[in-house]
Amino acid sequence: MTEIEEELARASRGLSASGPAPDVLAGLSDRAERDGVLDVAYAQVDSPFGPLTVAASRRGLVRVAYPEHELDRVLERLAADVSPRILAAPARLDPLRAELEGYFAGRVKEFATPIDWSAVHGFCGKVLRATAKIGYGRVRSYAEVAASAGSPKAVRAAGNGLGSNPMPIVVPCHRVVRTGGGLGGYTGGIERKEWLLELEGRTPV
């Protein structure tokens, strides 16, 4: 392990308020980026729901977490699923932050940020990829998403896959509703699902 990798590992284990100072982290993230050893960058983004934690690998977005998800838990999961070489590096997330701000303001209707699908697998991955194709202001039923994922009868499994969506909002699981128009569930809570649908011009049933 190189010196910068050792520093990165130490910093990633001390990401609480008692961890390295912001200027130290900024310098470390710059060095890690320059040396090509920062695999996952994360940042916080203001939203109508409170601060979202967003994270991206070099391939693309891997996580959007609502405020109730503890940062330490989010980072632990990313370290296990993607890479332990993770650090706050807001600059890498600036394009996504701008897109999210535009989305919440009603200006952005399609996210251009690439997605890293490497941490989602099997039928769940197929469900989330199908969901990512649902356009702004449109909805699909759980049955339709299951069919698009290749298993028309696996409606419950499709719902479970959507419930574990690691990238809500960008992968728009809020656009999946029950057959007949009922909202169904949502990993971020029904109130947020209603809010997002109303933002996009849909009136929840």
Domains and CATH numbers, the chain: 3-104 (3.30.160.70), 122-199 (1.10.10.10)
Task: Using the predicted structure, report yes or no on whether residue 55 has a pLDDT greater than 50.
Answer: yes
Active site residues: 173
At residue 68, does pLDDT exceed 90? Answer: yes
pLDDT tens-digit readout, 78-136 = 999 999 989 999 989 999 999 999 999 999 999 999 999 999 999 999 999 999 999 99
3-class secondary-structure state, position 87: strand
Q: Which DSSP state fits 134?
A: S
Q: What is the mean pLDDT of the chain?
A: 86
- Pick from 185, 189, 188, 187: nearest CA to 177: 185
Task: Please tell me the distance from the alpha carbon of residue 50 to that of residue 46, in angstroms, as a whole number.
Answer: 6
Average pLDDT on 64-85 reads 94
Grade residue 204 by pLDDT with cuts at 50, 70 and 90: low
